A and B are shown apart, each in its own frame.
Chain A
Amino acid sequence: MIKIPEIEVQNITKIYGNIVALNNVSLRIRDGEYVCIIGPSGSGKSTLLKIIAGIVKPTKGSVYIDGIDVNNVPFDERGIGVVLQDILLFPNMKVRDNISYPPLVKGLDYKTVNSITSEIIRNISLTVLTERFPDELSRGSQQKTAIARAVASGARLILMDEPMGSLDTRSARQLRHELRSLIKDLGLTAIHITHNQEEAMSVADRIVILRNGKVIQVGTPQEIYFNPRNLFIARFIGGELNALEGKVKEIIGNYAIIEIESLGINIKAKIMDKINIGEKVGVAVRPEDILLKEKSSGINTGIIKSYKYYGFYYEVFLDVNNTVLQIKVPRKRWFSPTIGEKFDIDIIRAYVYKYPEEGLEKAIAYE
């Protein structure tokens, strides 16, 4: 038997005035899947979520939930739980009462409501806080309560728009584990918008990247990290990238040898677009894919111009042949950088694309 996907977004276009917020977006989200949508501000993330929720009507296209076209089904009949960046709780109700509110208004009997509420409270570890009022909780615990309430409504699909957006980094780190476990333990489907790529990698089964209203890549965190479909994605995942101009010297299966004139070296890069020998190309090298070798032999050598300490790694700017490369070096016992120090480099992973018409800088520009 063919399993019907829980959510199917088919050719959705949304136009506001003369702005195309979404341009022919199609997506299938499987039952029980945890999907994150990421993309720069203005890429259409929130619009897509609102269309799935039924708060905004698409200009074209349809949303199917369990095979049923829900375009004319209003938000409150779609069986969806919603969590927003701004935490909305009833301030005059204790944690437990906030969570039991949705099943109660649905008219369930007290015994059922109690057992639903207790299960969720246990699942998201709010047990010791149930008798508190929202303003007696930390921001992280408040958002946890809001998530618990969304789940308690009995919704099978939870939509979250920047659920960690108002939390400090530490609370966000803690909450994301609990959030994923809760969704997985209860077998729910979740769509979660975030501007934090690490958060997306941590919680998602699959990630959808939107840019200018279009889906530009869908895949598991590993697929996207190891196969960025274009230069922009290579930069977007991780935030930093060495984008270099090169010329194709040789093609060996899925890889090509690229001459990088500015560095005076050749790089072996994974072929991501159709390219030909002799062609000018764009090469993406992530800062963590350049290794510094312990001893300098004078080949592929650079000089440290500056560096910064981030705790678990150093960010090093290395001048190779007057081109500055950004490199992330894990903190190791032997490595403690000094400005002016020389190192050989070894590029262990790179990706090659057609040279972008708009130039390298624009191709990876964020806004």
Chain B
Amino acid sequence: MTSSNALDIINIAKSYGKIKALENITFSVKKGEYFCVLGPTGAGKTTLLKIISGLLKPDKGKIFVFGNDATDLPPEVRNISYMPQGYALFHHMTIYENVSYSQWIKDVKSDKPIEALKLVGLEHRKNDYPYELSGGQQQRIALARVLASGSKILLLDEPLSALDAVLNIELREELRKMIKELGLTAIHVTHNTTEAMSVADRILVLRNGNIEQIGKPHEIYDMPSSIFTASFLSEINFIDGIIIGSGTGRFYIETKIGTFSILRERSFVKEGNVIVVYRPSDILVSRKATSDDNQFKAIISDIEFLGLITRLHLSINSWNIVADVWTSISDRYKAGEHVYVIFPPELGIIYKYPKEGLILEISGDQNP
């Protein structure tokens, strides 16, 4: 094993009765990396963390921690700390007692709890009880407790999901900064796409116990390897068609509303039945016709104001789509207005038509 990796997960599988929670999971996390595991509820995210921490035994596979086989090691000697979702603080203990709990169990004394409290900016509250703190502060204490353990690898299960949107933004910045400054390795599980994009060096997308994709945030956002991943990261527009030809570095796809031309490198297939995907933010809307390719007439059916963006609901003949325009610099549109919609050839993605059906692929619903 290369020792530049903090973790090597090899062929891990876990079933609960008939349900396969994880299947053949293999990936590595580098030392000092901030690694996010992203996926819907029930994808196997928590099971994966529990297996890495040693709380759960995999049915098969190996786990290497800093190059050493840790598969059969008990949790407390793995140099890994696990922060479960909900971060339950001990309510009858002071902040300091909470944070120094792991030291107390191991019967060691050190400055680590105080250092950790300083790091989260709450040393002055060390004699208070958890209920005297706000939600954001309690979250910081839970983090301090994990930091004080002195482990080099932190497993964080939805560490920010209990927080309001604004606090989430604030704390995720702090969290990443701390991990980086302390030279720790973090595996952070979340179902919040923006959170993952914001903190992660790399993201692993998990679906039904399988790895869907691993990559840097921009790689996953710009070139998602499946329709599922594309639709998990943002809303998407999709239309089915057939590749009818190619030329000048493009594929031509015939659809019910007309022909699209899309760059060849944006396609996962060379022929046959396909799905063309465009993110709402990648579609351009204009009051006047332009000289762009992939231009269609549309009518605005509804306008959804979301602050930063304004979401236009549009109909192109029988195809209903959404396009996001930047509120601060865009024209003010009205429902009922006729506009031109442009699909830039360099931003579309072409997928093979999913054999298990499109709805299942989009919804990612693993239930029957």
Contact = CB atoms under 8 A, between A and B. Distances in A.
A357 interface: no
A66 interface: no
Given A40-B164, A173-B235, A309-B221, A202 B304 contact: yes
A169 B306 contact: no
A308 B173 CA distance: 11
Contacts of A331: 281-282
Interface in A166-218: 167-171, 173, 195-198, 201-202
Contacts of B327: 225, 288
B194 A169 contact: yes
Interface stretch (A23-31, A75-83, A236-244, A253-261): A236-244
Given A238-B307, A348-B329, A137 B367 contact: yes
Nearest to A236: B166
A106 B265 CA distance: 61
Interface string A115-139: 0000000000000000010001111
B198 interface: yes
A367 B279 CA distance: 35
B104 interface: no
B169 A239 contact: yes
A366 interface: yes
B166 A40 contact: yes
B192 interface: yes
Contacts of B311: 202
B34 to A, nearest CB: 13
B137 A330 contact: no
A198 B327 CA distance: 13
B217 to A, nearest CB: 6
Contact of B308 (A40, A311, A328, A333): A328
A309 B218 contact: yes
A93 to B, nearest CB: 17
B363 A138 contact: yes
A310 interface: yes
Contact of B281 (A137, A286, A330): A330
B197 interface: yes
Given A41-B134, A289-B328, A310-B194, A238 B308 contact: yes
A221 B281 contact: no
B324 interface: yes
A195 B136 CA distance: 14
B55 to A, nearest CB: 23
Interface stretch (B60-68, B226-234, B254-262): B226-234
B166 A201 contact: no
Given A196-B165, A288-B328, A348-B328, A225 B234 contact: no
A201 B306 contact: yes
A222 B197 CA distance: 27
B132 to A, nearest CB: 13
B365 A366 contact: no
A222 B303 CA distance: 12
Contact of B167 (A169, A330, A367): A367
A126 B19 CA distance: 25
Q: Determine the interface band of chain B, counting residues with CB < 8 A from chain A.
A: 35 or more
A237 B192 CA distance: 19
Given A42-B134, A139-B41, A288-B326, A312 B281 contact: yes
A225 B327 CA distance: 10
A291 interface: yes
A280 interface: no
A221 B305 contact: yes
A311 B221 contact: yes
Nearest to B199: A308
Nearest to B221: A311
Interface in A305-359: 308-313, 328, 330-331, 333, 348-349
B105 to A, nearest CB: 31
A313 B281 CA distance: 9
A240 B172 CA distance: 13
B107 to A, nearest CB: 36
B264 interface: no
Q: Determine the interface band of chain A, counting residues with CB < 8 A from chain B.
A: 35 or more
Contacts of B235: 173
Most B C-beta atoms less than 10 A away, residue of A167, A239, A328? A239
Given A170-B231, A225-B307, A366 B279 contact: no
B134 A349 contact: no
A20 B305 CA distance: 34
A239 B365 contact: no
Contact of A308 (B170, B198, B326): B198
Interface string A37-50: 00011100000000
Given A195-B164, A197-B165, A310 B197 contact: yes
B278 to A, nearest CB: 12
B352 interface: no
A196 B165 CA distance: 6
Interface in B141-172: 164-167, 169-170
A201 B305 contact: yes
A136 B165 contact: no
B142 to A, nearest CB: 16
Interface string B177-207: 0000000000000011110011000000000
B215 interface: no
Contacts of A309: 197, 217-218, 221
Nearest to A329: B326
Contacts of A221: 305-307
Contacts of B328: 286, 288-289, 348-349
A273 to B, nearest CB: 22
Contacts of B134: 41-42, 367
Nearest to B217: A309
Nearest to A286: B328
Contacts of A169: 191-194
A239 B194 contact: no
B281 A195 contact: no
Contact of A198 (B135, B217, B307, B344): B307
A351 to B, nearest CB: 13
B198 A310 contact: yes
B80 to A, nearest CB: 26
Nearest to A291: B329
12 contacts: A40-B166, A138-B363, A139-B41, A141-B365, A168-B192, A170-B364, A171-B40, A197-B165, A201-B304, A288-B326, A348-B328, A349-B328
The 9 A-B residue pairs with the shortest CB-CB distance, nearest first, are A312-B281, A168-B191, A311-B221, A195-B164, A330-B326, A367-B134, A138-B365, A239-B166, A239-B169
Given A136-B367, A348-B328, 8 more contacts: A168-B191, A168-B192, A197-B165, A221-B306, A240-B169, A310-B194, A311-B279, A333-B344
